[in-house]
Amino acid sequence: MYLSITVICLIVLIFTLLSVAKLLALKPMPEMAAHAGFSTAAYRLIGALELAGAVGLLLADAGL
């Protein structure tokens, strides 16, 4: 029980940090987007989807 909560919290934390970095287009993210063949706008969309995934995990863990 506690292990699954810990793993979910770690995944939420990682998704949130990476998604915020993509949404704000922090320094390495535009270069990473270009390297992967994405525009900055597309990378921001990916960041928004990652943030939605983190929220979904939190809601699923809370039983909502």
Residue 60 pLDDT exceeds 80:
yes
Q: What's the pLDDT score for residue 62? A: 78
Instruction: Decide: pTM greater than 0.75.
Output: yes
d(CA 45, CA 25): 11
Burial of 55 (0-12, 13-18, 19+ CB in 10 A): middle
User: Would you place residue 44 in the very low, low, confident or very high pLDDT band (cuts 50, 70, 90)?
Assistant: very high
Q: What is the pLDDT of residue 32?
A: 93
Q: What is the pLDDT of residues 23-42, one digit of tens each?
A: 999 989 999 999 999 999 99
